[in-house]
DNA sequence: TTGTAGGCGTTATCAG
DNA sequence: CTGATAACGCCTACAA
């Protein structure tokens, strides 16, 4: 056992403060925690002394006594070196910042294997390291959700699941977004519009394709020219799909992508194959990553506020912790069509 | 006080296990923590029972008893919505994953105001929430470093500071990287090479410019045509600098940028001004962000492994915690010139 | 309004 | 090799 040696803190403890003020620990604790049955005078003395000596309660002790960790966990997939992950960074930033407002901390854990394994969640639950979880990139049948529900452990998801009525969740309306994008392209005169999906394991991918299908269905375009291709939310996936789509006899004049990374891959291949963008081919992404604006041409996309996602998710979870019995809540936000240059009229 | 109500865990405790096995808590604890003075037989019984009942020690209790949090803190700047932040995401991923190997957790905190304020560090230290810190984006005179040193609190930096001999640190050799990049451009026949900096508050920015200056100095290029421009590590900063540089009478034929985001801004403006890349202008970035490969042309850059950065930083810190008295260590890694298409010969 | 005492679940020390 | 017993530092009934 070469454990790290404990270095006893020279930090001031509640007993020091008690001694100093000639009060007892209990009184100090109550004074500081806003109990009403404390004389104003004592409370002030205590607070003043606490400030003077820089007293801050020991979190571990507090947590043990309270039986709470005041910490929320999030588990990141280990391999996320996709361009997508500008999302993760902003999401964490927002979550952390919003949790801090409520006095909660954010514990970031990494999943070594499959991103959807429950094992890290189990360990975190069993070791009482967190009071709740934020789960993102949900699957329709999500084992993580199943596990936490079975344990009756608080969590919120960013993204819907099959058990939507049994937990709090927040999501972007991907269906509506792609309806809007599709009808925009139709309006621009495109007759052959294709769609590249996002790996059907992600539940959200289904909503996006639904939006596409719905508007294509309503239109009078020739369905056989409106192809759906599988993708995987990566640039590479976009490249592969683009090859297949653009080397057809009647290639699409517009491609709708399930995310920006995919769109970048599509644009890359399209250029290699001699398509001009947007003259010969319109490309639309989804996510609104900042770098899209630096592409040539700047990527048109459906964007939404990641800060908002983080904030909403945190609010839902904190409310759940405060009132565990309340009915589950959900919220949907909308993406905005942001036309920057990679789309245009069909000539 | 509308505190979250404590829901006493039905999780199994050490006392349950002790009762079940007819042993005492102490014995269970020692058996599970690998003490030698336990009979093989008992140890096995204990371990087996622990597995059977899914016993995991309560972290809060353990932390209180040990006087350790087994948690490392990192403070993110609130506003980091620059393209740079793909870095943050990968960095956190790597740090978290490597910490987990050592049984440590990662606590992510957000700085509401100035990214270099010490206040969040103070709170985290005083509340004993963390045992150490990882600091990145260091300044030459860094208040965070000053504070932690004054408290004798363990930390490691990614990036150098003025007090380099007083703490552990890891860094990329930016000077060497820019020497290499500069001489590459000289070799390619460029006579007018410019440099866009990265906000001189960052210590690392100074090393980069030094590398540039050194090689320009050694060369026989006309110095007045090798301009240095200030930047801020953002795409916008690159755009502004590019305007100034490219609208000169004798614009540079190559621009070296302090990071990839800056380079993207430069390329954008260069194209707008009618420069072909790389025929009329070579552009080199630094960071090696994945999206660079999807630019048109793909961005040439100096890249390094963020995974490695995280790993090295974690190793340094864990060693520090294990052996607080050991002399400080540091490590430097090198960036690799990755030529992808945005640079070429000067014709 | 304040003090007392016990508990939170571990780990560590010291006998036996 | 194992069992008591005492921390760890805070919170909270209950008593005064």
Residue by residue, what is the 3-state secondary structure of B199-240?
A: CCCEHHHHHHHHHHHHHHHHCCCCHHHCCEECCECCHHHHHH
User: For position A186, what pLDDT does the model report?
Assistant: 96
- Residues in B touching A63 (Cβ below 8 Å): 60, 63-64
B4 with A80: Cβ contact below 8 A: no
Q: How far is A266 from chain B (nearest CA, A)?
A: 10
Of residues B118 and B1, more confidence is placed in B118
* Length B26 CA → D6 C1' (Å): 12
Q: Is B198 within 8 Å of B228 (Cβ atoms)?
A: no
Quote the percentage of chain B above a pLDDT of 90.
81
Which residue in A115, A202, A99, A116 sits closest to A159, CA to CA?
A202
**Residue at the smallest CA–C1' distance to nucleotide D13:** A26
Any CB–CB contact under 8 A between B7 and chain A? yes
* Residue whose tokens read 């809060």: B60
A20 touches strand D (CB under 7 A): no
User: For position A77, what pLDDT does the model report?
Assistant: 85
**Residue at the smallest CA–C1' distance to nucleotide C3:** A24
**C-alpha gyration radius of chain A:** 26
Q: For B67, which of A6, A82, A127 is closest by C-beta distance?
A: A6
Q: Enumerate residues 109 to 148 of chain A having a beta carbon within 8 A of any beta carbon in chain B.
A: 109-110, 112, 123, 126-129, 131
Confidence of residue A62 (pLDDT cuts 50, 70, 90): very high
Mutate to test the interface with A, among B124, B290, B319 (most CBs of A within 10 A): B290
Q: What is the pLDDT of residues A5-60, one digit of tens each?
A: 444 456 899 999 999 999 999 999 999 998 988 999 999 999 999 999 999 999 99
* Length B49 CA → D1 C1' (Å): 19
Angle formed by the axes of helices A40-53 and A25-32, to 10°? Answer: 90
Positions 42-71 of A with beta carbon below 7 A from strand C are: 42-43, 64-65, 67
Confidence of residue B3 (pLDDT cuts 50, 70, 90): very low
Ordered DSSP codes for A276-326: -TTTT-EEEEEE--GGGGGSSSPPEEEE--HHHHHHHHHHHHHHHHH-TTS
The answer to whether residue A211 scores a pLDDT higher than 80 is yes
Ordered DSSP codes for B273-295: TT--TTTT-EEEEEE--GGGGGS
Across the range B79-99, mean pLDDT stands at 79
**A238-265 in b/e burial notation, b at 16+ Cβ within 10 A?**
bbbbbbebbeeeebbbbbbbbbbbbbbb
Q: What is the pLDDT of residues A129-186, one digit of tens each?
A: 999 999 998 999 999 999 999 999 999 999 999 999 999 999 999 999 999 999 999 9
- Residues in B touching A8 (Cβ below 8 Å): 67
Q: For B271, which of A56, A105, A296 is closest by C-beta distance?
A: A296
Q: Which of B3-7, B145-149, B195-199, B336-340 has the lowest mean pLDDT?
A: B3-7
The answer to whether residue A206 scores a pLDDT higher than 90 is yes
Q: Is B289 within 8 Å of B334 (Cβ atoms)?
A: no
Quote the percentage of chain B above a pLDDT of 70.
95
A66 touches strand D (CB under 7 A): yes
Q: Enumerate residues 67 to 106 of chain A having a beta carbon within 8 A of any beta carbon in chain B.
A: 67-71, 76, 78, 80-83, 85-86, 88-90, 92-93, 96-97, 100, 105-106
* Spacing of C-alpha B237 from chain mean position: 22
Q: How far is A223 from chain B (nearest CA, A)?
A: 31
Q: What structural domains and CATH numbers belong to chain A?
A: 3-66 (1.10.260.40), 71-172+306-334 (3.40.50.2300), 174-304 (3.40.50.2300)
User: For position B2, what pLDDT does the model report?
Assistant: 37
User: For position B83, what pLDDT does the model report?
Assistant: 54
Tokens of B79: 């506003």
Any CB–CB contact under 8 A between A42 and chain B? no
* Residue whose tokens read 């007819």: B22
- Cα separations (Å) of B297 from B86, B247, B263, B282? 20, 22, 12, 11
The answer to whether residue A74 scores a pLDDT higher than 60 is yes
The answer to whether residue B84 scores a pLDDT higher than 90 is no
User: For position A2, what pLDDT does the model report?
Assistant: 37
User: For position A82, what pLDDT does the model report?
Assistant: 58
* Spacing of C-alpha A166 from chain mean position: 19
* Per-residue 3-state assignment (H helix, E strand, C coil) for B102-134: CCCEEEEEEECCCCCCCHHHHHHHHCCCCCEEE
B13 touches strand D (CB under 7 A): no
DSSP annotation of A165 reads G
A57 touches strand D (CB under 7 A): yes
The answer to whether residue B9 scores a pLDDT higher than 90 is no
Q: What is the pLDDT of residues A227-256, one digit of tens each?
A: 999 998 888 999 999 999 999 999 999 999
User: For position B80, what pLDDT does the model report?
Assistant: 54
User: For position A3, what pLDDT does the model report?
Assistant: 39
**B282-321 in b/e burial notation, b at 16+ Cβ within 10 A?**
bbbbbbbbbbbbbbbbbbbbbbbbbbebbbbbbbbbbebb
Based on DSSP, count helices (H) and strands (E) in chain A, helices before strands.
12, 12
* Residue whose tokens read 């609190």: B153
What are residue A136's DSSP bridge partners? A158
pLDDT averaged over every residue in chain B: 91
Q: Which of A123-137, B79-93, B229-243, B312-326 has the lowest mean pLDDT?
A: B79-93
* Residue B196 backbone dihedrals phi, psi, to 5 degrees: -115, 120
Q: Is A132 within 8 Å of A153 (Cβ atoms)?
A: yes
What are residue A285's DSSP bridge partners? A301
How many A/B residue pairs have CB atoms within 8 Å? Answer: 199
* Residue whose tokens read 């200056």: B213
- H-helix segments, chain B: 14-21, 25-32, 40-53, 59-66, 86-101, 119-126, 143-151, 174-187, 203-218, 235-246, 260-272, 306-322
CA distance A206 to A201: 9
Q: Is B96 within 8 Å of A76 (Cβ atoms)?
A: yes
- Cα separations (Å) of A58 from A13, A68, B120? 8, 13, 16
User: For position A80, what pLDDT does the model report?
Assistant: 54
User: For position A5, what pLDDT does the model report?
Assistant: 42
Bases on strand D under 7 Å from any protein CB: 1-13
Q: Which nucleotide in the DNA or RNA is closest to residue B14, CA to C1'?
A: C9
| SS3 call for B3 | coil
Q: What is the pLDDT of residues A98-139, one digit of tens each?
A: 999 999 999 999 988 777 789 999 999 999 999 999 999 899
Q: Is A268 within 8 Å of A241 (Cβ atoms)?
A: no
CA distance A259 to A205: 10
* Residue whose tokens read 């003259």: A279
The answer to whether residue B4 scores a pLDDT higher than 80 is no
């Amino acid at each position: 056992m070469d454990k790290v040696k404990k270095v006893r803190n020279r930090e001031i403890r509640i007993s020091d403060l008690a001694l100093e003020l000639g009060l007892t620990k209990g009184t100090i604790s109550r004074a500081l925690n806003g109990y009403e049955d404390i004389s104003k005078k004592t409370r002030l003395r205590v607070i003043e002394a606490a400030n003077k000596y820089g007293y801050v309660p020991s979190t571990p002790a507090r947590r043990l006594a309270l039986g709470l960790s005041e910490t929320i966990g999030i588990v990141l997939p280990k391999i996320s070196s996709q361009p997508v992950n500008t999302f993760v960074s902003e999401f964490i930033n927002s979550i952390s910042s919003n949790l801090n407002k409520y006095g909660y901390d954010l514990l970031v854990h990494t999943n070594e294997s499959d991103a959807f394994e429950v094992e890290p969640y189990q360990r975190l639950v069993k070791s009482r390291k967190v009071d709740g979880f934020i789960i993102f990139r949900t699957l329709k049948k999500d084992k993580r959700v199943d596990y936490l529900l079975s344990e009756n452990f608080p969590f919120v998801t960013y993204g819907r699941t099959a058990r939507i009525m049994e937990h709090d969740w927040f999501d972007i309306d991907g269906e509506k977004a792609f309806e809007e994008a599709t009808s925009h392209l139709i309006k621009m005169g495109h007759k052959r519009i294709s769609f590249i999906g996002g790996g059907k394991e992600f539940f959200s991918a289904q909503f996006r394709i639904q939006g596409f299908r719905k508007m294509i269905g309503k239109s009078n375009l020739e369905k056989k020219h409106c192809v759906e291709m599988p993708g995987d939310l990566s640039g590479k996936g976009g490249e592969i799909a683009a090859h297949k789509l653009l080397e057809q006899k009647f290639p699409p004049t517009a491609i709708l992508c399930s995310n920006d990374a995919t769109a970048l891959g599509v644009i890359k291949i399209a250029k290699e194959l001699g398509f001009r963008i947007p003259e010969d081919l319109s490309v639309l992404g989804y996510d609104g990553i900042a770098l899209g604006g630096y592409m040539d041409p700047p990527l048109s996309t459906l964007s939404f506020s990641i800060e908002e996602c983080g904030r909403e998710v945190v609010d839902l979870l904190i409310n759940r912790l405060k009132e565990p019995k309340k009915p589950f809540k959900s919220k949907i936000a909308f993406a905005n069509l942001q036309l920057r240059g990679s789309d245009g009229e069909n000539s």
